[in-house]
Structure formats: structure tokens, C-alpha cells
Structure 1
Amino acid sequence: MTNNSTCTETDLKPYYAITYTFILIPGLIGNTLALWVFYGYMKETKRAVIFMINLAIADLWQVLSLPLRIFYYLTGTWEFGRGLCMLCFYLKYVNMYASIYFLVCISVRRYLFLMHPFKFSDCRRICDVYISILGWVLVCVACLPFPLLRLQRDANNTCFVDLPVAQIGLSTSIAMVTTGELLGFITPLLIILYCSWKTILSLKEKNSASHDLGEKKKALKMILTCALVFLICFAPYHISFPLDFFVKTKKIENGCAQKVISVFHAVALCLASLNSCVDPVIYYFTTDEFRRRLSRQDLQDSIQLHTLAHIRKHTRAVLRTDTMDY
């Protein structure tokens, strides 16, 4: 017989609200700035810029849904309709797995250009566009079970963590969790670790020129940073996910175990959301072009060029109006 008297419920909603408030402003500014920078030097480099743009878009989608999450966790009630609730709930998982997908793409792209520069030098940017489109389709389809399992009629005025989960059989639960863990976490992790390991081995080659050595160090820095963000933001969630799923589907009934798992899962969810404001830090510290474009001089030049272009456009419009008057 389990003793549940010492395992009181903990209200985790304030912690969600605090975390999402902390993420909101840096995530909004960082990803908007990242998209502006990537648009500016998209024609200058082939180094995974398309994947970085898609990663920033995925993060921005998540950030734009945070105000509604914060409102719900502060008030405890949802007044915006079931459709918007499920959309925001769905975007959370689309963002997470799209981020995982594009972190893997960035790591593989840097690794391939480094280790096989002649073989992949002719790979046009359109290839990355097709890979990105395919990734979005796969992620959006694969994440559909998350909202579909929460479409319950008795969920009035509740959303997010309070949504009830449909009861399914143990064998189906194990199959779904195993598939999600293998495809959504373990396989991407192994790919990133493989790219890191092969890049580290290439640094030990004695016949590498100084230029090649510098490029390898830059690539390794990018790949290791992706691996670090991957482990910090997504590993805790994928450890807690199967446990929390079995709690919500009543496969784990011990009160103390449920409380511990719920708290751990809440922390893991917050860490997974943190990637929205951590990813712009990756761009800044691992991409030379990003730092250069954000430098004081480049920023001033860009603003001046934008201002001049606006003045010229306005002047042409005025001249065109004057000509029409005549």
C-alpha cells in the first residue's frame, strides 16, 4: 500500500509563467535579429544558412505563442477557444522537433563541407531548401499525435499541461513512446555525436594545412555547440517524456512517483523551451558572418544603406507624382 500523505501536490504553473516570461523578450529579439542577419548574408555563404533560417523561424513560432501560455499559467483559465489552445500546444512540439531536425542538418552540412569539400561544393542552396521543406512536412505529421491525444471534450477552459490524455493500451503506449524516442531523440543524437567524433579525428591528421585546420576548428565549434544545446535542452525532456506519458495515461499510479515525475517533467519542458533564446547565441559565437554583420560598423552601414534606399524610394515617388500633375 502506498503512502500518499507525504506527497502533496505542487502547483507548477507559476514556474512555467516565470520561465516563459524570462524566455519571451530575448527569444523574440534574438530570433528576429537572426533572421535579419541571415537574410543579409544569405548570398555570401553556403554554410548551412538555410537551415539556420529555418531554425530561427521554428524558434520564433514558439516565442510568439508564449504570451498566451504566460496568460494561462498566471490566470489558470483559457478563454481563447479550443482551436487556438490546440494550435499553441501543437506548435510547442513542432518547434522542439523542428529544432532537433535543423540542428542535425546544420551539423551534417558543416561536417560534409569540411570532410568532402569537392564532392559537396556543387550542392546548390536549392538542395537545402528541399531538405528543409521535407523536414517541416515530416515534423508536422510526426507531431500530430500530441494534440490528437489531448482532444477531450471535458477540457473546457483548460489548456497545455492541464489537458487530459486519452487512455490507450499499454502496448500501444510503449510502441508510441519507443518510436518517438528513437526517431526524435536517439537517432539525431547519434548523428550529431558521429559528426563531432569524425571532426575531432580530422583535427589530429598531421597533413592538414593551417587553413584547413582553422576551418576544421570552426566546424568543430559549431557541431559541438549544437551537441551541447541538444543535450542541455532536449535530453532531460526525452528522459522525462515516457515517464510523464505513463503517469498521464494512469500506467504509473504511485502518488510519490507521480509527483517526482511531474516536477522533473516541468523542469525538462522549461529547458526544452529555453532553446528558443539559446539558438541565437549559437549563431553569434559560432558564425563569423553573424558577428561581422552585428559589429558596430556593419550595423551602422546597414542602417545608412536602408535609410538611403528609403529616401531614394520616397524621392522617386514624389517626382512621379509631380510628373503626373503636369
Structure 2
Amino acid sequence: MAVNESSDCFLTNRVLEKYYLSTMYSLEFTLGVIGNTIVVFGYIFCLKKWKSGNIYLFNLSISDLLFLCTLPILVNSYSHDQWSKEDILCHSNRFLLHANLYSSILFLTAISVDRYLLIKHPFGDHVLQRRRTAVMVSVAIWIGVILELLPLVHFLEPLTPTNNYKCLDYASSGDPATNLIYSMFLTVFGFLVPLLTMCHFYVKMVRVLKTRREQGSSGLTLEKPLALVILTVAIFSLLFTPYHVMRNVRLASRVPALNVSECTQEVISTIYIITRPFAFLNSAINPVFYFLMGDHFRDMLMAKIRQLLGRPTATGK
């Protein structure tokens, strides 16, 4: 009976990977590529004056596009249950996937800090609001994420006949005890610290808004940045928390010393599989920020589209 239960659990995970993951990643690829491509071209061709927030948002879009480039390989592999036998392709794919996750978190954190500074220093006179500073911070984020994730390549399990040459995700490969330690490190410094930073500046923003309202200042122009920071924190909580929790639980369940039953491991793996696409759903959602976060980006983009559509008519006249 135990063998049958274990087989059923394993079969469920195979079905989830083949149909659920391939479907979710396909949707994320389609929506993400369209949204982020529009944003990138919109920034390049429509935005004349770049500010610090624009630089962070542009880097966020580049990060999303790099991740989205990995999805066709994953979709094809999961849907056909056929994997490339090259370690380099597998590990680079997993590396880019995690690089997007943690660079997105950091760029969204930087954007939240920038939103606070915009309210605190509306004339852009703070050193962190300068374009040169934003470029330096962006470069530091990219370098920091790369250095932070270099051990990941070592911890990923190589493709062998034992695992049927399958490109295993991080939580399902390698030595679970060692990987759990590294996963906790990523959870704390890659996710929790940025989340607490965002919450800290969210509280500071609320205090600034409250002070200005008490002084009789109009709050109409301040409600939008506040709503966006709340939205960002909500995205952090809803999308990233379940993934990080279940990744650590998945690794812990594989530690031999804990003696977790095989079927229990598969149930945990099932929940972990469900959370994975939601963690990367931010790549499809992030373009929303480009249309909402000030600088009249949406108006400029629509004006550019109307201009392009109107050229043939103008020529015909």
C-alpha cells in the first residue's frame, strides 16, 4: 500500500510538471515578453529625461527579459519530459532564473526607496536621487546578485543517468543539508532583508504623508506613491513568501536525518511545485509598475503610438 501511495504521489508531481508548470510558464512568457518589450522600447524611444526611478525600472525590465528567455527551454522540457544532457545549459538556465528572482526583489526595493525620497525630497536634491547614483546602485545590484548566486552552480546536481539526465530544480538536487544552509542564506539576505527594508520605508512614507496632511498640504499627489508601495509589499508577500517557505521545507524534507517518508516528501514537493510559477509571476506583473509609477510614462507611450499610427494618414494628406 505504501508503495502504491508513493507511486501515486510521484505520478501527481510528474503530471503537475508536464501540464501545470508548462502552462503557467507559457502564460508568463507570453504576457511578460509583450509587457516588458513594450516597456523597454517605450523607455528608449519615448522618455527624454531619465530620472533615478526610471533607471531602476529599466534594469528591472532587462532582468525580467533575461529570465523570460529561459522559459521556452523549461516549457519544452517539462511538456515533453525530455531534457538536454548538457550541464552548462541546465545550470545557466537555473542561474538566470534565480538571478531574475533576486535582482527583481532588489530593484523593487530600490524603487520603493526612490519613491520615499521623491516624497521626502520632491525637488530631487538628495544624493540618492541623482542619475549617476542610480546607475552605480544598479551596477552594484547586478554584481551583488551574481556573487550571491555563484555557489548555486556548485550546489546544483549534475545531469547523470541516475536522475535520467533531468535538469532538477535547486530544492530537488544536490546534498539537501548543505543546500538548505545556502537556501536559508538566500532567504534571509535575498528576500527577508529587502522585504524589511521596503516595509521600513513604507512606514517612513506613511509618517511623511501624515505630517504633510496635518500641516494642511494636499494629499492628492501623495496617495499614488503610497498605494504603489503598498502594492509592491503585497506582491512581495503573496508571490515570494510561499516559494521561499516551501523551498526550505522541500530541502528539509530530503535531509536523511529527519527520516521523512517518501510520500510525505512527494506531497511537500507537490506544494513546492505549485508555488514556483507564482514566485516568477512578477516578471509578467512588473510592467504594470511602468504605467503607474509617475513621470507620465503611460501618456508618453500612448502619444508615441498615436504619432506612429498617424504618420500614414498625415502622409496621405
Q: TM-score range by the shorter chain?
A: 0.7 to 0.9
Q: Does 1:300 align with 2:306?
A: yes
Alignment partner of 1:219 is 2:221: no
Correspondence 1:172-191 to 2 at 5 A = 172-173=178-179, 175-191=181-197
Deviations 1:105-134 (A, max 9, x none): 000111122113454178421111111111
1:62 lines up with 2:67 in the alignment: yes
- Does residue 101 of structure 2 align to residue 86 of structure 1? no
Q: Does 1:270 align with 2:303?
A: no
Partner of 1:96: 101
Would you say the 8 A contact 2:171–2:250 is kept in 1?
A: no
Is the 8 Å Cα contact of residues 20 and 66 (structure 1) preserved in structure 2?
Answer: yes
Distance 1:109 1:244 in 2: 36
With normalisation by structure 2, the TM-score equals 0.85
Matched, 1:127 2:154: no
Q: Is the CA contact (8 Å cut-off) linking 1:111 and 1:199 kept in structure 2?
A: yes
The alignment status of 1:144 with 2:146, answered yes or no, reads no
Q: 1:182 to 1:288 in 2, by over 3 A?
A: same
Deviation per CA, 1:201-253: give whole Å up to 9, x if none. 2222211522xx23422221221221122122211111112111223454552
**Equivalent residues of 1:189, 1:227 under 8 A apart:** yes
Alignment partner of 1:166 is 2:174: yes
Inter-partner Cα distance in structure 2 for 1:271 and 1:62: 14
What amino acid is the match of 2:45? G
* 2:68 aligned partner, one-letter code: V
Deviation at 1:199, TM superposition (A): 1.5
Give the equivalent residue in structure 2 for 1:315: none
Query: Deviation at 1:178?
Result: 2.9
C-alpha separation in 2, matches of 1:99 and 1:207: 36
- Corresponding position of 1:27: 32
Q: In the TM superposition, what whole-angstrom CA distance separates every residue of 1:146-189 from its partner, at most 9, and x where no partner exists?
A: 23211425256321439962226x4x455423322210111111
Q: CA shift at 1:255, angstroms?
A: 2.8
Tell me the CA shift for residue 194 of structure 1.
1.4
What is the identity, as a one-letter code, of the residue corresponding to 2:301?
L
Q: Which has the larger displacement, 249-258 or 21-30?
A: 249-258
* Residue 38 of structure 1 pairs with residue 46 of structure 2: no
In structure 2, the residue corresponding to 1:108 is in which secondary structure? helix
Distance in 2 between residues matched to 1:66 and 1:306, nearest whole Å? 37
Residue-pair matches, total: 303
Indicate if the aligned counterparts of 1:240 and 1:261 stay in contact, CA closer than 8 A: yes
Query: Is contact 2:157–2:168 with CA below 8 Å preserved after alignment?
Result: no
Amino acid at match of 2:103: A
Q: Which residue of 1 aligns with 2:296?
A: 289
Q: Deviations over 1:20-66 (max 9, x none)?
A: 11111111110000111222354435251101011101111111111
Matching residue's letter, 1:66? L
Between Structure 1 and Structure 2, whose CA radius of gyration is higher?
A: 1
TM-score (norm 1): 0.83
Going from structure 1 to structure 2, the CA distance change for 1:227 and 1:73 (only over 3 Å counts) comes to: same
Partner of 1:157 in structure 2? Answer: 165
Match of 1:202 in 2: 208
Matched, 1:76 2:90: no
CA RMSD of aligned residues (A): 2.9
The correspondence for 1:254, drawn from 257, 261, 276, is 261
